[in-house]
């Protein structure tokens, strides 16, 4: 099935044939809407937003554009069509038929992966809740809302799996996904980065560039899963994720471009002209990039080894590898031993979080290369860099030590003394927030940001992407 049914909950999983499941999801739906109204974009629920909605999961037909009020968005359940005879592609069950039901012994591990994935989706909407009030243009405002509604749909994707395959436990987990709150001391979201404040559009663009990109790699490895319904839902989620990373990469790229224009003005002081200077941008990059590195989990992880062995979570594009059990392989990484960094080989299965993180880092670097090309083309001398994967880590083997952005091991005191060179300070935060004045006239754009290269879906830049009147 590729075309979506037009029921209360749009879906391509023949939901109406399972009345119990349908009723359970229809009972969850109003709670989701209540959560959306309470924790979704503040102040814009009644506005018409020019949004993309899925109407079919075929590549040619899933993107339908029209004005929608966000609470009326057609959140639904979309899985990629089943592939006949699909086999498990890695781990101890390599070559066996994929599972359509959850094998009993894998239930807990699988539930934990699905809940962790699901938890990030509403968390990001909560983090971005107030950003609409300071949007730099209607184009950007619309993109924020597009990202938000799709994160809402990704929550639906995980809740469908919990309700369908995990019985009462799954229903309870689905309730809890609506009860935790980003940044709440008593009921925080599960993963670190999703409890961090996202206070302004510089952080929003960094988040969609770096944190959504973790989403790409996590979804990609779950899309290899031997549990077929998870693989199929993640494959469809990846098509939506691509737009979020586009928003982040081009958003940062437009700040860079504007900073370059201002650097070339007489005096060249970017801040004096109301722009975001490149050293400040680098600090926010250092922050969001390292928070996102933490999302891959520990460098040495028995959880990662178990999930791979079980056939539940593979590597990014598993097909590219010649061998799929990795039993006799090792992976070299830097570890800290007796106060120095040494290179050490660890069993490949336990290093799989690090393998995925390494792919992610390469992907991030490609975006930096594009931004740096812009700077060079403007004739300016500045290079944006990714800090070392050891810098500012809160999860994994480097988190007990202090490293410079260059990767040099230093004392905690020395690190604290230099923190303000590397990460945003209170003063940076006050300055960046001072720039965040809303611009809501069609075609107009805030002074700290260059215009987009083109409008949405072939429309002009001055199209009224959100009707505020």
Min separation Cβ 246 and ligand BYC, Å: 14
Q: Which is nearer to ligand BYC, 209 or 262 (CB)?
A: 209
Q: Which is nearer to ligand BYC, 250 or 273 (CB)?
A: 250
**51 DSSP 8-state letter:** E
Per-position DSSP letters for 306-366, written without gaps between them: HHHHTTSS--TTGGG-S-SS-TT-EEEEEEEETTEEEEEEEEGGGGHHHHHHHHHHHHHHH
Min separation Cβ 211 and ligand BYC, Å: 5
Residues 61, 55: contact at Cβ < 8 Å? yes
Min separation Cβ 143 and ligand BYC, Å: 14
Tokens 């290269």 identify what position?
453
Min separation Cβ 334 and ligand BYC, Å: 17
* 127: nearest Cα among 200, 69, 187, 33: 200
| Burial bucket for residue 443 (CB in 10 Å: 0-12, 13-18, 19+) | middle
Q: Which is nearer to ligand BYC, 48 or 240 (CB)?
A: 240
Length of the chain, in residues? 469
User: Residue 444: CB partners within 8 Å, gap ≥ 6?
Assistant: 137
Q: Which is nearer to ligand BYC, 48 or 212 (CB)?
A: 212
Min separation Cβ 130 and ligand BYC, Å: 16
Residue ranges binding ligand BYC (CB under 6 A): 113, 116-117, 120-121, 124, 151, 191-192, 211-212, 214-215, 218, 294-298, 301, 303-304, 313, 353, 395
418, two tokens: 């230099």
Min separation Cβ 352 and ligand BYC, Å: 8
Min separation Cβ 228 and ligand BYC, Å: 17
Tell me how crowded residue 278 is: count the other CB atoms within 10 A of its CB: 21
Q: What is the crossing angle of helices 302-309 and 107-127, to 10°?
A: 120
In angstroms and rounded to an integer, the radius of gyration of the C-alpha atoms of the chain is 23
Min separation Cβ 204 and ligand BYC, Å: 11
Q: Which is nearer to ligand BYC, 182 or 273 (CB)?
A: 182
364, two tokens: 């991030």
- Beta strand pairing status for 64-69 and 48-53? antiparallel
Distance separating alpha carbons of residues 160 and 372, to the nearest angstrom? 42
Min separation Cβ 76 and ligand BYC, Å: 18
Q: Which is nearer to ligand BYC, 237 or 445 (CB)?
A: 237
Q: Which is nearer to ligand BYC, 70 or 295 (CB)?
A: 295
Distance separating alpha carbons of residues 432 and 426, to the nearest angstrom? 10
Q: Which is nearer to ligand BYC, 103 or 192 (CB)?
A: 192
Distance separating alpha carbons of residues 270 and 289, to the nearest angstrom? 23
Q: Which is nearer to ligand BYC, 146 or 301 (CB)?
A: 301
């Amino acid at each position: 099935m590729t075309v979506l049914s037009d029921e209360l909950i749009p879906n391509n999983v023949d939901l109406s044939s399972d009345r119990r499941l349908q009723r359970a999801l229809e009972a969850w739906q109003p709670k989701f809407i209540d959560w959306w109204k309470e924790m979704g974009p503040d102040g814009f629920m009644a506005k018409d937003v020019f949004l993309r909605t899925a109407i079919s999961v075929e590549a040619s037909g899933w993107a339908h554009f029209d004005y929608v009020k966000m609470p009326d968005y057609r959140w639904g359940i979309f899985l990629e069509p089943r592939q006949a005879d699909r086999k498990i592609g890695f781990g101890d069950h390599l070559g066996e038929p994929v599972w359509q039901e959850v094998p009993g012994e894998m239930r807990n591990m699988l539930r934990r992966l699905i809940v962790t994935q699901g938890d990030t989706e509403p968390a990001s909407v909560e983090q971005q809740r107030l950003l609409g009030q300071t949007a730099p243009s209607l184009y950007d405002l619309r993109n924020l809302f597009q990202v938000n509604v799709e994160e809402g749909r990704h929550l639906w994707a995980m809740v469908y799996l919990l309700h369908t395959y995990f019985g009462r436990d799954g229903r309870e987990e689905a309730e809890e996904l609506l009860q935790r709150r980003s940044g709440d001391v008593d009921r925080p979201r599960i993963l670190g980065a999703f409890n961090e404040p996202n206070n302004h559009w510089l952080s929003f663009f960094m988040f969609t560039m770096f944190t959504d990109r973790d989403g790409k790699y996590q979804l990609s490895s779950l899309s290899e899963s031997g549990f077929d319904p998870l693989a199929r839902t993640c494959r469809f989620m990846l098509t939506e994720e691509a737009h979020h990373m586009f928003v982040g990469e081009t958003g940062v790229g437009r700040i860079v471009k504007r900073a370059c224009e201002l650097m070339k003005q007489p005096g060249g002081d970017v801040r004096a002209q109301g722009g975001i200077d490149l050293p400040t941008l680098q600090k926010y990059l250092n922050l969001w990039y390292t928070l996102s590195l933490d999302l891959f989990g520990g460098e040495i992880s028995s959880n990662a080894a178990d999930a791979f062995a079980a056939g539940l979570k593979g590597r990014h594009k598993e097909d590219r590898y010649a061998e799929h059990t990795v039993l006799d392989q090792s992976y070299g990484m830097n570890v800290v031993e007796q106060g120095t960094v040494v290179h050490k080989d660890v069993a490949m299965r336990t290093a799989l979080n690090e393998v995925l993180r390494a792919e992610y880092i390469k992907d991030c670097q490609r975006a930096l290369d594009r931004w740096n090309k812009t700077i060079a083309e403007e004739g300016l001398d500045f290079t944006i860099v990714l800090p070392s994967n050891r810098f500012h880590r809160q999860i994994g083997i480097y988190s007990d030590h202090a490293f410079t952005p260059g990767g040099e091991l230093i004392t905690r005191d020395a690190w604290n003394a230099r923190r303000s060179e590397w990460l945003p300070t209170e003063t940076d935060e006050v300055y960046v927030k001072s720039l965040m004045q809303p611009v809501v006239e069609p075609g107009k754009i805030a002074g700290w940001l260059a215009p987009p290269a083109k409008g949405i879906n072939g429309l002009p830049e001055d199209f009224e992407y959100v009707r505020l009147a």
